[in-house]
Amino acid sequence: MMIAIRLRLALILTAGTTTVAALSLAPPGLAARSAVVTRGLDYLHAVQRSDGRFQDPAFTPWGVLAIAASGEDPTGSAWGGAGKSPVGYLESLNLEAHATQGATGNAPAYYAKMILAYVAAGRRASLKAAGRGRTDLVAKLLSFRRGDGRFSPAPAAPGMAAVNTTTWAVIALCAAQAESSVRADAVAWLRGQQLPDGGFSSNARDSGSSAVSDVDDTAAAIQALVAGGTDVKHRTLTDARAYLKSAQRPDGGFSSSRNGGHTYSESTAWAIQAILALGENPQSSAWSIRGNTPHSALARLQTSSGAFSHRKGTLALPILSTTQSLVAANGRSFASWPRGGSTWVRPFAAAPRVTRLAPAHGSVQSSRKISVRAAYQDPAGGTGVKASGVRLTVDGHDMTRKARITDSSLSVNLTGAALGAHKITLRVADRAGNVRSVTHTVTVGRSGGANEEPAEVAGEGGRAGGSDDVVRGEADGRAHSDGESRPASRAPNDEGPPTARLPDAGTAADPVTPAAPETSSPAGVAAQESSGRQEPADHDASQTVKPDAHGQKNLLFLLGLALASAAGGFGLASSQHARIGAAAQRLRETAPFDRPHV
């Protein structure tokens, strides 16, 4: 019964504007990665945990799929900042023990997504002995097969989520190239689940009135049917295509249903994959509404941090929304991908670079004035550095507000430096939340005049005291139109850097406010300075979006329905059926249900 409840009501919420960017399909070889994809990868780097995971075992396979779809090796060092990649994280788990925990809810769908992740990562050989428990993922998936060919997670309610689950099973078994006869039976059953309007529901037709068409399940079923050998000209697929087209919104994107009030990134991503499965171009005139395509609609939902909103203005499950969007943005359809044998491209380097920090590390000067000059930049295609993401500390004192800071440079003259060694730390965060921290030590000596001006020295490479390398060469001067400058002690039109006095020796160090990502994402801001990767928080309750009182009543109503369904079901009048559908849609407006995207 609890499985049935989780399947009905998976509401995991967290609480974005973006500049519309060109979103183009990357070719199979990923010769040209789009800016949308690069920024999405930037965000994933920022939210990946030091143990390799993306939030939890249920979401990490989606991270693997997004990375592999972007042409990068999810087992490589670029995605293993602390020595463990997302695949390494999955390998460290007892996968069977996690099959019904946390956000999973649907055990066979969980096993299916694990199969896809392993195949995408080039680990097909590990399917029969995956994770610490050496789980046979294919055998576990097959254990949920019913006699009529369907796959169901709930023996007490075999129709509940059966279409969703069977869809995942077909896609996974095709990727694993396993059990051809089982796949054929599942495809035959799945074709029989099409509803009169051409769409597919998460639930089986024999579950009664709870079988209502939605975009996500229809798009997923299209991919499964094509993967399973159904011709794209088969009436089942032409009718499913017609349902999708009828659900397309004026902005080119898709909601979860024909009458949905918002464009969702997850639904739009699934629709793009389905259109690709049908052999069509999602950017063609056939899928354009007054110049708006599914791709342009998806691009509008990407925030400046690189994450994708669930819908405009709402970050619900940004890791999930972003990973699904990246799979679609890379032109990958589960109808034909993954199949293994990928050739990996050079990975995107996420953390910002400090191209100059002066004075040089280890330098000695006679003047008690320390002239700090810095230049920095984000890797090409990244989310970019913003002035508000830069912090400067000297001997533990926060001097950020004393400096003149732009999106690409920092300058300040600090007077009153005591004799001895001084530690200068520059911390730069990009809009996604990736951090680079560099520390130089400069010594003020006893020789020379007290007011002697030091020469401006370029930052040097090499590590000292665990600090990161400073890249040689000048910054490219790239700045963003929305850049901010910190308050300075000189007038805005005054040339030269501002001047500020250092606190007297022995003064207690200031608490330093960490640089925050551009948007209110779940990413934390405490950097691991040696790696350039921050350690995000598991969940930021302050950013959670909760249903209103009306939504909570609907939630309780649906919960009662779930309990009744698990117990055997009961008859409902047509007016009650309509009320159920309307309640579900209102809750859907707040955050995604446990559909194919979870």
Count of beta carbons in the 10 Å neighbourhood of residue 277: 23
Residue 172 lies in a domain: no
Flag whether 24 is in a domain.
Answer: no
Give the span between the Cα atoms of 346 and 18, in whole angstroms: 27
Per-residue pLDDT of the chain in tens (598 residues, 90 and over written 9):
444 434 433 333 333 333 333 344 443 444 478 999 999 999 999 999 999 999 999 999 999 999 999 999 999 999 996 678 999 999 999 999 999 776 567 999 999 999 999 999 999 999 999 999 999 999 999 999 999 999 999 988 999 999 999 999 999 999 999 999 999 999 999 999 999 999 999 999 998 768 999 999 999 999 999 999 999 999 999 999 999 999 999 999 999 999 889 999 999 999 999 999 999 999 999 999 999 999 999 999 999 999 999 999 999 999 999 999 999 999 999 999 999 888 899 999 899 999 999 999 999 999 999 999 999 999 999 999 999 999 999 999 999 999 999 999 999 999 999 999 999 999 999 999 999 999 999 999 964 443 444 333 333 322 233 344 454 333 333 333 333 333 333 434 456 899 999 998 767 666 655 555 554 333 332 332 333 555 554 433 223 333 333 333 333 333 433 433 433 333 334 344 444 444 444 444 444 434 554 4
CATH number at residue 373: 2.60.40.10
Tell whether 366 is covered by a domain: yes
Q: Which residues pair with 460 in a beta bridge?
A: none
449, part of any domain: yes
Whether residue 85 lies inside any domain: the answer is: no
pLDDT digit string (tens) for 129-153?
Answer: 999 999 999 999 999 999 999 999 9
User: How many whole angstroms separate alpha carbon 594 and alpha carbon 7?
Assistant: 6
pLDDT of residue 483: 34
Task: Of 377, 459, 451, give the one whose Cα is nearest residue 424.
Answer: 459
Cis peptide before 74 (omega within 30 of 0): no
Q: CA-based angle 501:397:473, to the nearest 5?
A: 85
Residue 404 counted as domain residue: yes
Residue 499 lies in a domain: yes
* Residue 507 in domain: yes
DSSP summary character for residue 486: -
Rg of the chain over CA atoms, in angstroms? 27
Alpha carbons 158 and 146: distance in angstroms, whole number = 8
pLDDT of residue 208: 74
The total number of structural domains in the chain stands at: 1
Domain residue limits at 358: 353-531
Q: What is the pLDDT of residue 553?
A: 34
